[in-house]
Homo-oligomer: A and B are copies of this chain.
Amino acid sequence: MKGAHALVKTLVQLGVDVCFANPGTTEMPLVAAMDAIEGIRPVPCVFEGVCTGAADGFGRMAGRPAMVLLHLGPGLANGIANLHNARRARTPMLVVVGEHATWHRRYDPPLAMDIEALAGTFSGWQRTTARTEDILRDATEAVYKAGQDQVSTLILPYDLQLEEMPEGRADAGPPASAPVDAGMVEKAAARLRKAGRPVLVLGGRALRREGLLTAARISAATGCDLLAETFPARMERGAGLPDVPRIHYLPEMAMDQLSRYDLLIFAGAQRPVSFFGYPNVPAELVDKGSETIMLTSEGRDTGEGLEALASELKARSTATEDCLAQPASMGLPSGPLSGDKICVILAALQPEGCIVVEEAITNSLLYHPLTAGSRPFTLLTLTGGSLGQGPPCAAGAAIACPDRQVISFQADGAALYTLQALWTQARERLNVITLICSNRSYDILRLELARLGVFQPGPSASRLTDLSGVDWVRAGEGMGVPSVSVRTAEDLAREFSQALDEKGPRLIEMVL
């Protein structure tokens, strides 16, 4: 059996069944192997940032790694921005990069790059396979390590893919989970009982349904508030779940929000720091006088840690209705569109069980508060701050959950980074509705200029924050996605409702 076939067979055995791919010459044996050995669905992407962003969306929803197949150093480089987001999201993912033949690298052919250095910037685990007989071991370890909620990168030289090797069988075993720290649970419970103004800060797996309901029980038992990390990889939300506000993005607002508390217990979340380091603004957003306790790591122990805390606190075994958000109905706005009106319309009309990928930046401020009583849904956000995550993430989520409606709530500036994801959405006929907030501007940067005292940007700053000139209807249709443009709340509600009734991808440009 050839090395490429052995790799594909091993991955299939380990449960890898989707591959987001943009291969080149050095990956052709793997492409051929996917035809010889069944079990992996290849999803073509044009531009590698789409592959990696889609695998991020897939991993967040499926809870297991998709494979990404990339071409040499440049192909991997194009995928790094969304691999960075995936790293911050703790998404399980397996990246396979073809490399020049082992004997060819020394000639420094034109496409040669330091692939290992690139991989080192985002990988939780990485290896360049040295011999064909190592493929089975390396693939097994790669999938196992990816299962620990991180990116594994396997670099596989071309000649090893073509060499013959003996067959074998892979078994990765279950991923290790950090044990719950019983002493920390006791300490947290004791402090919670005494604290005047405590808050439980949830992140990672604590934001899944089970974690949220456990947190609601803890809140009911102790009176503590609940907060979510600023940019959750995946958060369940809506009626029937506790209403958990997110920590604000702007550091001044976050500090104000957090300053109310004298005790902060973190479950699956990191201690919050300012997104950027501004003069005269502290990096650490938690007041120095407040006590902080890290209840669990960010790993798979989060759910058990929360459950142990609830048990220690003798919280009721189920969350009572009064801790949970009730279904809310909202009137629909009318007239010219604004960011706030878009948020209302989306929160009001989004269907039960939908997945909302939110990369709307300045136009989504109201969306989270408005959705406490929405039909239950899953929220995926931009974890690493690297723009262009939304459109591919939506594609990957739709492939992981073909029966759920995916809504890509998207800023125009960010969407331009990876608009090629629309092509994959069209090609695979994915149920993704893309809502583009078209304000034709990097508004977030105008805010940053104001922070520097530049309230009237000069010609250079104006040119560099002005995004006018994109026709999103044509751009969407160019990629094969039926597209319309709306300017009023009424038109948006109508077009969005209609898109929800149909299958396949749609794009709605919302002109602001």
Residues of A whose CB lies within 8 Å of any CB of B are 21, 23-26, 28-29, 31-32, 34-36, 40, 42, 44, 46-47, 49, 73-75, 77-78, 80-81, 84, 88, 100-101, 103-105, 107-111, 113-114, 117-118, 120-122, 158-159, 162, 231, 273-279, 283-284, 383-388, 413, 416-417, 419-420, 423, 426-427, 444-445, 448-449, 451-452, 454, 457-461, 463-464, 466-467, 469-480
Contacts and interface: CB of A to CB of B under 8 A. Distances in A.
A386 B70 CA distance: 12
Contacts of A24: 445, 448
A419 B475 CA distance: 10
A475 B478 CA distance: 4
B104 A276 contact: yes
Given A35-B459, A74-B385, A445-B28, A279 B121 contact: no
Contacts of A114: 120-121
A353 to B, nearest CB: 29
B463 A42 contact: yes
Given A28-B445, A384-B74, A480-B469, A279 B162 contact: yes
A28 B471 contact: no
B475 A445 contact: no
Contacts of A120: 114, 117
Contacts of A121: 73, 77, 113-114, 117-118
B277 A101 contact: yes
A457 B35 contact: yes
B32 A110 contact: no
B35 A458 contact: yes
A413 B24 CA distance: 12
A512 to B, nearest CB: 18
Contacts of A386: 74, 111
7 contacts: A24-B448, A46-B416, A74-B81, A78-B81, A103-B277, A113-B121, A427-B469
Given A274-B109, A276-B25, A77 B73 contact: no
B469 A34 contact: no
A159 B276 CA distance: 10
Contacts of A454: 28, 32, 35
Given A44-B464, A78-B78, A78-B81, A426 B276 contact: no
Contacts of A476: 478
Contacts of A383: 110
A464 B283 contact: no
B31 A449 contact: yes
A297 to B, nearest CB: 15
The 7 closest A-B pairs by CB, nearest first: A104-B277, A475-B478, A35-B458, A101-B277, A74-B386, A77-B80, A474-B478
B273 A109 contact: yes
Nearest to A88: B110
A457 B480 CA distance: 24
A445 B46 CA distance: 14
Given A107-B273, A423-B416, A474-B478, A44 B113 contact: no
A24 B467 CA distance: 14
A73 B121 CA distance: 9
